[in-house]
Amino acid sequence: MTERDAPILFLDSGVGGLSVLAPTRALLRHANVVYVADNAGYPYGTKTEGEIAARVPALLGRLSERYRPRLIVIACNTASTIALGAVRAALDVPVVGTVPAIKPAAEASVSRVIGVLGTKATVRQPYVDDLAARFAADCTVLRHGSADLVALAEAKLAGMAPDWAAYRAVMAGLLDQPGGERIDVVVNACTHFPLVADELAAVSPGHMRFVDGGAGIARRVAYLTTGQDWPAGGGTGRAVFTRADDAAFALAPALALARFGLTRIEGL
């Protein structure tokens, strides 16, 4: 593989990282892309910190050897808040993480009450405490961790009908907290959640808006790869599943080929 052919590699436990891949491909259409869904480890958000800290660096080491990426994007908030430092220490390749968009949420909030929707593993991390202290010190920051919303996003891309009661229950986890009625901005602090932003908005008060970090991550990737050589013509894309079972390959054509330009599907 030549340097110009080296891909950008994205990792998530499932389809959530597609919400980061999409804006990145919009900026860097000439880049080769490898999107890795670690469905053998799905979901990350219900695992312990120790499990994530062990799994993600080891997996990315294996993937780096196989695909020789020019840059890695950990397109998962849970994995980033727990394992980003260890991955950067272990690999000799730039690594971009995904962190909750608390800063832009605080900048946009008028009521000074913001919500954070993430996995249970993400919302309990000290990293989130630090972001809130640094960028939203004058705000009330309410959090809710939901594994159900991850599953709802996966179900949507698999073509299943929305479970509106489940979406309402997720939002109730934020809105029913003391002060929840004053939330005007919600951070989608899991890369799965922007994929169901329309559904969340449909069961939320009309004044509420949702923000995520996808566009900012795309700009960061573009900045870090400025001036690099790229393949002639448009870039290629492949989706890699760590468990190449029937369910993965049934999902692949709908979510990858038609929508995100991942024209090759393979198992690890």
Kindly list the catalytic residues.
76, 190
Structure tokens at 160: 């299943």
Residue 140 to residue 21: CA distance in whole angstroms:
31
Site of tokens 């004044």: 207
Cβ atoms within 10 Å of 154's Cβ, excluding its own: 23
CA 208 from centre of chain: 21
Do 100 and 118 form a contact (C-beta atoms < 8 A)?
yes
Conformational region of residue 112, where left means phi above 0, alpha means psi within -120 to 50, and beta covers everything else: left
Structure tokens at 91: 């690999």
CA 156 from centre of chain: 16
Structure tokens at 51: 């499990």
In sequence order, what are the residues at sequence separation of 6 or more whose Cβ sits closer than 8 angstroms to the Cβ of residue 169?
148
Residue 243 to residue 49: CA distance in whole angstroms:
22
Residue 261 to residue 65: CA distance in whole angstroms:
24
Residue 53 to residue 193: CA distance in whole angstroms:
23
Residue 145 to residue 118: CA distance in whole angstroms:
5
Coil, strand or helix: which one is 129? helix
